Structure 1
Amino acid sequence: MFDKRRKKLKQMSRSQKNPSSMIAAISPNSRVAEQFRTIRTNIQFSMVTKNLQTILFSSSGPYEGKSTICTNVASVFADQGKRVLVVDADMRLPSIAKIFHLNNKVGLSTLMTSQHLKVEEAIQHVEAVHFDVLPSGIVPPNPSELLDTERMDEIIDELKQQYDLILFDLPPIVSVTDAQIMATKVDGVILVIRKDIAEVEEVYKAKELLDLVNANVLGAVFNGETNNYDYSNSYYR
């Protein structure tokens, strides 16, 4: 079992920045794209009774596909004409800029530390998927401290004036406190669980850590790769 997991981790390490992971945009008629639309529908059901304008995506550990799930969900919401923004708030191992070949010199970390940079100057539009991206920016020495500031609250408030839906990609929950901090600032959290990668104990630990900060956990996406261009996803409460 452990050999299988190590092999899977190596495969994910090599492939996680592959633009083909944007399957919802590349193959909109595929079974996988339909699964992402199902996830969208389940989120929309939650929106009926709750204001869910800001949603955080994270996982218990690395290589579980949180960034892939986050960006594909963004894509299917953008397909409905929604104004969607993906924020790469993983200021430790950022990946969103690499997925879309964006300049990462200016981004969230820059906004947090600059007194003169405007929010719109840090945002980049990705025409191929019809949504905007706020990259992480240069990796700072103190990501969790930056997230736990009034400046972060101000940025979120400003973004909410411009977008219908804002999706945040955060580091794994168990390893650092970033996701816990942001979970107190957003409307909901979705946990990504990767088949053959996620450890059961770590998943339970991640849920416990979210509960400690009274996070609104909307549900989880079970993510299991079946071949190079196919994902099996399910969303549950």
Structure 2
Amino acid sequence: MSKINKNVDNNRDIITSINPQSPISEQYRTIRTTIDFKMADQGMKSLLVTSSEASAGKSTTIANLAVTFAQQGKKVLVIDGDLRKPTVDKTFKVQNSVGLTNILMNQYAIQDVLQRTRISGNLTVITSGPIPPNPSELLGSNAMKQLLDTVTGYFDVVLLDTPPLSAVTDAQILSSYVEGVVIVVHANQTRKDGLLKAKKLLDQVNANILGVVLHGTEPKDSTSYYYYGVE
């Protein structure tokens, strides 16, 4: 398990981009390195980041991991798989008129919705696109599987943001399509029974759980960070 302290800003500024030398950014690089070793060892490229409940720090974690992978020189793609309450467009400050929904509905080709970010030329995003009436059905379609198969051929790391596991089945569905899953939990918020339920849901689809990131911890001092390994 890896920890991120509670001094991470609640706004949508990405700390690893605006202050890469901060102790918090170092925490994210530590998590990235651990995940990177596991992905390399298992030959993985696609990773899903989810949580057992809302507001656990899932989207913050995936954004900062994306930046740290890009800073490492890897070609990174972030896909907003939350077709209910998307955030990737706001986090990376890009438009969201077209995106994942349009690809899955065969309205646009993948290359037509890829957006480079201002943060790094190595970091590309696919936003959610218009919110559809049937998110679970779209995400569970063969088109979604084909999309992931295609983009893992072009990018070194593909990170997929999803709704919380407790809310809808979307994350459970998508976890069976990717090669690894990381669960984000929040100190003093995530309940043990909720986390156990989330793990059970992932186990039902034989998801490859790489580990847990604990978000919102209290550091011993302003320069410390915690690393327990993603297991």
TM-score, normalised by the number of residues in structure 2: 0.89
Q: How does 1:144-163 map to 2 (within 5 A)?
A: 144-163=136-155
* Residue 110 of structure 2: aligned partner: 119
Report deviation, 1:103: 1.1
Consecutive unaligned residues in structure 2, runs of 5 or more: 1-5
DSSP-derived class of the 1:37 partner: helix
Could you tell me how far apart the structure 1 residues matched to 2:31 and 2:189 are? 21
Contact between 1:58 and 1:173, CA under 8 Å: does it hold in 2? yes
Q: 1:232 to 1:122 in 2, by over 3 A?
A: farther
* Secondary structure of the structure 1 residue equivalent to 2:168: coil
Q: Is the 8 A contact 2:184 2:213 kept in 1?
A: yes
| Relative contact order, higher structure (CA 8 A, sep 6+) | 2
- Name the residue aligned to 1:19: 12
Summarize deviations over 1:17-73 as a string: whole Å, max 9, x none: x232x1111111111111111111111221242021000000000001111100100
Q: List alignment gaps of at least 5 residues for structure 1.
A: 1-7
Q: Distance in 1 between matches of 2:110 and 2:164?
A: 26
Q: One-letter code of the match for 1:184?
A: S
Partner of 1:70: 62
AA aligned opposite 2:158: I
Q: 1:193 to 1:72 in 2, by over 3 A?
A: same
Give the number of the structure whose residues are more often helix, by fraction: 1
C-alpha displacement at 1:231, in angstroms?
11
**Hey, what's the Cα distance between the residues in 2 that align with 1:233 and 1:210?**
26
Separation (CA, whole Å) in 1 of partners of 2:224 and 2:165 = 23
* TM-score between both structures, scaled by the size of structure 1: 0.87
Give SS of 1:19's match: coil
1:86 to 66, 78, 101: 78
The CA RMSD over aligned residues, in Å, is 2.2
- Which of 105, 110, 133 does residue 125 from structure 2 map onto? 133
Count residues in correspondence.
221
Moved over 4 A (4+): 229-235
